[in-house]
Structure 1
Amino acid sequence: MSEKRGPWFLFTGLLLGIGLGVAIAWGIPQSEPVNTAPASLRADFKDEYRFMIAAAYTVSGDLGRARARLATLGDPDPLLALGEQAQRLLAANVSIERVRILANLSEALQSQPLATPNDKTTPPLETSTPSEQQPPAVEPLPTTLEPTEDSNQPSPTPTTTDTPFPTRPLFPTATLRPTRTLTPTPGAPFALINQSTFCDPQKPGLLQVNLKNALGQPAAGQELVITWFAGEEHFFTGFKNEISPGYADFKLTSEIEYALSLSEGRTRITGLIAPVCTSEDGKPYPGSILLEFRQP
């Protein structure tokens, strides 16, 4: 025996579903979105946030805002965090443009450090206190006697002519001494000032590069391009601040000749081959090369 159900059965189910949905939507409290601090982000999300800060600085050039945004990540050393992220990007063969964006921010942060209360950037004003002021010397008033035409006058009547006192300001106007700010030659290519080889079994086969600007300060954020047969790699200074902001290194392979370019190819060093060193037990290992550059 079959039971026939009319359309009221479906209509009743529809009403029950709508009522249950309304009850859930209005009766059960929903979770509300909460803004979280950047310091609480996961490590990979911090990297994305840090890159967005560097990209925003590239567009706006507002270093103060970029510094404040980096501080919200809570990194103990923001410069070191930028360097480590750039090294990870280089190891992952990410686009060199992304690494260059991080390098530009790192260079700006190191070239314009935060001013400290002990910094003296303004020379003292040359002012004097009221006690140091000497009053102007008072000159005696000259007296001119003018005789009258009447000789019977008992005595001449003297007339005095006042000489005005010289005017002198109580406080002299302070004059600021102009300061000279030395700046490196913009766009000048780096010149090689020292090239040497050394043996270090703890760090074998390293090409170590040190860059200094015209003031003798480490030059951070400089792009270096090293090439060899069928190979090329880019790396930057300023990512190993524990050594020097102007330091960068590259791992050399034995018996391979390299060429290093910097200053957008205007400076090029060729014939770089790791020397052969011998350990204490007589085993050979690749030595290291040190290159030092300075901007004129």
Structure 2
Amino acid sequence: MDNLTLVTEFVLLGFPTQPNLQIVLFLLILILYIATVLENLAIITLVVLDRQLHRPMYIFISNLSFVETIFTTTTTPKMLLGFVADRRTISLAQCFTQLYFFLSLGTVECALLTVMSYDRYVAICNPLHYGTIMTNKMCTILATICWAIGFLWIVMPIYLISQLVFCGTNVMNHFICDMSPLFALTCTRSFITECTCYTFSTTMILIAFLLTILSYTSIVTTIMKIPSTSGRQKSFSTCTSHLTVISIFYGSLIFMYVRPPNAKAALNMDKVIALFYTVITPLVNPLIYSLRNKDVARAVQKAMGRNRIL
């Protein structure tokens, strides 16, 4: 250890391709990033300005849009810089900071999706008590708890990772700082640290996922008891958007983080999956919630009508 040079910065390998293709990828991801930010900010603005959207479901959707905006901003600008910069470096402090926000915001999203499934459960399984259970005050409390859980749950893993010693090669086979590529660059692998970090991530993902499944099991059971076909279809349609987002989100998340610490990480595949849920998912989620939602469509038409008048 005395003869090894300690690493003070990492070189993010990113997606090594031909220069022309680098420019194409830069422009494509830049367009997707701008579209993502604008879409999510538009949803937040609509929910804030339109009083008819001051309801539990839309309060949670606006929180989710805010998470998606910060989440993609945490990683995408650095990735875009890597396509055009000569040096794709990131300091240890910046790396750990990016990792903290990256994991924390992902945890907040897990918690929010779980609370949103509970909101659907109350709306369908206890419709007569929905107004007294899911008040705006209760929604604010639940959203605050989601944010608190997200930023506190990741403190211990980040602290353990920050105590690792990095030496030798500093080339990270990724476009962001993530746990697997960081563990691959440590001087000596720490089983306790890796096991603890993956236990924290796996526990949060599985608890949130199982609570969501539990809510939707009750929802499906209740819907199947509805005698009319049109009533069942109407009830199912209120859950379609949320189920689609859950499937996309947890599908990529479980593949990335719900695995034993000694599993051989396929870092190239991890990069593709990470690109999907850092760029594509934040872009698609607001579209999923908006396209099939009559209230959001009405709010958009109302806002456009005001702009024409002005």
State whether TM-score is above 0.5. no
Of the two, which has the highest radius of gyration?
A: 1
Higher strand share: 1
Higher relative contact order (CA 8 A, sep 6+): 2
* Band the TM-score falls in, shorter-chain normalisation: under 0.3
Higher helix share: 2
